[in-house]
Structure 1
Amino acid sequence: MNKKVVVIGGGYGGLRAVEHLSKSSDIDITLIDKNPYHYLQTEAYGYIAGRFDMHDVAVDLKEWCSGFEKKVEYINDRVTSIEFDEQQVKRLGGSIPYDYLIIATGAQTNFFSFIKGLREHSYGVKKLQRAYNFRIEFENLIYKKLLNEKNGEDINLVIGGAGLSGVEVAAEMAHVIEVYKKTIGARVESIKIYLIDASKTILPGVSEFLIKSTQKRLDSLGVKTLRETFIDSMDDSYIYFRDSKKLKYHFMVFTGGIKAAELNDSLDVEKNKISQFIPNSRLNIGNRENVFAIGDCVEIKNAAKEVLPPTAQTAERSAEYVADAIRKKMDKQDIKPFNSSVLGVFIALGGKYSAGEIFGFIKVSGYSAYLLKKAITKAYYLGLRLRINAGYKNRIKRDI
């Protein structure tokens, strides 16, 4: 009798787990997600700046699941709880039994409660809806400039958080403004991009090469970088800093922190201060050998006990490991502890410019880095599209 594997979450990790599990004929797979689409968060910077369209950052999950030769069941619903003893996933529309469970619910923007007004007056990019709202705001601003409105004063667009997402959003918006200078001229010069972070440097935790390359690019685009700057509070007009200074702003995108998705809070298992699960060395949680957590919803460490960054790369590596672990467990084989490393980092820095580092010693920046990053992203996106195209064909066969 086939084993039932339930995957909660259609992000990078969830999809990679399904891909690998689908190779086993004796496994039945169910993917459940509250959203009917897979959101390519790594491409959010280009979407909110208007360079990418919706079809570049969202893929229909039902169509994707239908693209497998062996049926993958997709359920569009919200998971409300998990009954570990009963091996049941509870959802709004009922419950789903499982033999093995993979939790891949990702993360959400952590609008820090100690910054008064942050949640009410800023946007995040972890959710497609928020990215869409921000895109509309940005396009409306450019449109008003085209109509020769909002002239006579600086319009400050603020990015809170100078990590990977923050610098990518800042660079892309600044690049778009540079492009518009060629068509509507000086009208857009009053739009200023501010990148604010409490750290001493942008991109804390990455290599000196990437920090310097990124800072140089941001400077060339006119991005105003404020480091070691602490936000105390916000209202609908001003950002107030701890040093008693303030900055008038038009809108703000906050990328300064994450916390695990809401489902984590409902489960009585060990978690860290941002609600990520703390797993064992095999990525099991709650002392359950048949329950795994992958991606941003879990604190993942390598063999040296170093916490890996919450990136798509980490999510995919952990997904591959867990899919393989389930297969080995079914075959009664030994399972080695999880171990991985960051193979490379690429940062999109506006237009056809990127900076990247592969294997710790190959360093590239500029157009060549852009081409490498684009090739990696295109390969991933092409895989999704091919699966969906297969789904169209499979559906036609079933309808005939």
Structure 2
Amino acid sequence: MNKKVVVIGGGYGGLRAVEFLSKDAGIDIVLIDKNPYHYLQTEAYGYIAGKFDMHDLVIDLKEWCDGFKERAQFIQDKVVSVDFDKELVKSATSLIDYDYLIIATGARTNFFSFIEGLKEHSYGVKNLHRAFNFRVEFENLIYKKLQNTKESQDINLVIGGAGLSGVEVAAEMAYVIEAYKKTIGDRVKSIKIYLIDASKTILPGMSEFIIKNTEKRLESLDVNILTETFIDRMDENYIYFKDSQKLKYHFMIFTGGIKASHLNDSIDVQKNSISQFIPNAELNIDNHKNVFAIGDCVEIKDAKGEILPPTAQSAERSAEYVAETIMSKINKKRVKPFDASMLGIFIALGGKYSVGELFGFIKVSGYTAYLLKKAIAKLYYLGLRLRINAGYMSRAELK
């Protein structure tokens, strides 16, 4: 009799887990997500700035699961709790039993409660609808500049948080503004981009090569970088800093922190300060040997004990490991601890420019890095589309 694996969450980790589990004909897979689509959040920077369209960012999950020819079932529903003892997932409308469970629910933007007004007056990019709203605001601003030939007052667009997402959004918006000089002229110069972070440097925790080349690119795009800058509070017009300075702003996107999904709050196991599960060496939570957590909803450490940044790569590598572990357990094979080493990173910095590292020693920047990053993203998207096409063909055969 086949083993049933339930995967909660249709993000990068959840999809990679399904893909790997499908290799074993003795496994039936159920994927559950509250949304009917997979959101390619790593491409949000381009969508916000108008570089990509909606179809570049979303994949229909039912169509994708159909590509596995009845091996994977998709259920659109909101999971509200998990009963580990009874091995049941409780959704808003049903109970789903499992032999093995993978929690891959990702994270949400952590609008820090100690910054008054932050949640009320800023946007996030973890949510597709928020990214859409931000894009609309940005495009409306450009349109108003196009219409108004007399307005010269500075308009400040602020990105709070100079991690990977913040840097990519700032760079792409600055590049778009630079490009619009050819059509709008000097009026567009009054749109200013500010990148703010409390850390000593942008991209904290990344290599000196990545940081220096990113800073150089941002400066060439006239991005105003404010590090070691602490936001005290916000209202609808101003950002107030702890040094008593203030900045008038048009809108702000906040990428300065994450918090695990709401499902984590309903599960009584060991968690860190941002509600991420703290797993064992095999990514089990609370020592339940048939329950795993992957991606942004779990705290993942490398061999040195340092917490890895919440990236799509971390989600996918943890997903591959867990899928292989489940298959090993089913087939009575030895299981090894998770090796959390990262293969590399690429950062999009506006237009056809990126910076990146591979395997710790290959360092690239500029157009070459852009081509490599684009190829990686294209292969990922193409893989999803091919699976959907397989689903179309399968349904056509049934007819």
Task: Calculate the TM-score normalised by the size of structure 1.
Answer: 0.98
Deviates more, 1:261-270 or 1:331-340: 331-340
What is the CA–CA distance in structure 2 between the aligned matches of 1:245 and 1:395, rounded to whole Å? 62
**2:297 pairs with 1:297:** yes
Coordinate RMSD, CA, aligned: 0.9
What is the CA–CA distance in structure 1 between the aligned matches of 2:25 and 2:188, rounded to whole Å? 58
Secondary structure of 1:169 counterpart: helix
Question: Does the 8 Å CA contact 1:22/1:70 hold for their aligned counterparts?
Answer: no
Secondary structure of 1:385 counterpart: helix
Question: What's the offset of the Cα at 1:361?
Answer: 1.0
Counterpart amino acid of residue 16 in structure 2: R
Question: Does the 8 Å CA contact 2:30/2:75 hold for their aligned counterparts?
Answer: yes
What is the CA–CA distance in structure 2 between the aligned matches of 1:23 and 1:234, rounded to whole Å? 51
Question: What's the offset of the Cα at 1:69?
Answer: 3.1
Identity of aligned residues (%): 75
What is the CA–CA distance in structure 2 between the aligned matches of 1:31 and 1:150, rounded to whole Å? 54
Tell me which residue corresponds to 1:271.
Answer: 271
Tell me which residue corresponds to 2:228.
Answer: 228
Tell me which residue corresponds to 2:154.
Answer: 154
What is the CA–CA distance in structure 1 between the aligned matches of 2:340 and 2:283, rounded to whole Å? 12
Question: What's the offset of the Cα at 1:372?
Answer: 0.6
Tell me which residue corresponds to 1:389.
Answer: 389
Counterpart amino acid of residue 173 in structure 2: M
Counterpart amino acid of residue 232 in structure 2: D
Question: Does the 8 Å CA contact 1:67/1:390 hold for their aligned counterparts?
Answer: yes
Tell me which residue corresponds to 2:362.
Answer: 362
Tell me which residue corresponds to 1:121.
Answer: 121
Question: What's the offset of the Cα at 1:368?
Answer: 0.7
What is the CA–CA distance in structure 2 between the aligned matches of 1:23 and 1:343, rounded to whole Å? 23
Tell me which residue corresponds to 2:90.
Answer: 90
**2:187 pairs with 1:187:** yes
Counterpart amino acid of residue 191 in structure 2: I
Question: Does the 8 Å CA contact 2:284/2:292 hold for their aligned counterparts?
Answer: yes
Distance 1:52 1:13, change over 3 A: same
Tell me which residue corresponds to 2:326.
Answer: 326
Secondary structure of 1:43 counterpart: helix
Question: What's the offset of the Cα at 1:184?
Answer: 1.1
What runs of 5+ residues in structure 2 fail to find an aligned partner?
Answer: none
**2:233 pairs with 1:251:** no
Question: What's the offset of the Cα at 1:305?
Answer: 2.3
Q: Deviations over 1:88-140 (max 9, x none)?
A: 00001111000000000000100000000000000000110100000000001
Q: Deviations over 1:132-159 (max 9, x none)?
A: 0000000010111111178131000000
Q: Deviations over 1:158-197 (max 9, x none)?
A: 0000000001000000000011100111121100000000
- 5 Å-filtered alignment, 1:8-47, equals 8-47=8-47
Counterpart amino acid of residue 20 in structure 2: H
What is the CA–CA distance in structure 2 between the aligned matches of 1:185 and 1:309, rounded to whole Å? 40
Counterpart amino acid of residue 206 in structure 1: M
Tell me which residue corresponds to 1:111.
Answer: 111
Q: Deviations over 1:205-260 (max 9, x none)?
A: 00001101000000000000001000000000000000010000000000000010
Tell me which residue corresponds to 2:74.
Answer: 74
Q: Deviations over 1:317-372 (max 9, x none)?
A: 10011001101111111111111211111000000000011111111111111001
Tell me which residue corresponds to 2:282.
Answer: 282
Secondary structure of 1:90 counterpart: strand
Runs of 4+ in 1 over 6 A off after TM superposition: none
Secondary structure of 1:171 counterpart: helix
What is the CA–CA distance in structure 2 between the aligned matches of 1:276 and 1:78, rounded to whole Å? 19
Counterpart amino acid of residue 385 in structure 2: R
Tell me which residue corresponds to 1:342.
Answer: 342
Question: Does the 8 Å CA contact 1:108/1:127 hold for their aligned counterparts?
Answer: yes
Question: Does the 8 Å CA contact 2:300/2:340 hold for their aligned counterparts?
Answer: no
What runs of 5+ residues in structure 1 fail to find an aligned partner?
Answer: none
Question: Does the 8 Å CA contact 1:283/1:322 hold for their aligned counterparts?
Answer: yes
Number of aligned positions between the proteins: 399
Question: Does the 8 Å CA contact 1:25/1:70 hold for their aligned counterparts?
Answer: no
Deviates more, 1:166-175 or 1:63-72: 63-72
What is the CA–CA distance in structure 1 between the aligned matches of 2:25 and 2:361, rounded to whole Å? 41
Task: Calculate the TM-score normalised by the size of structure 2.
Answer: 0.99
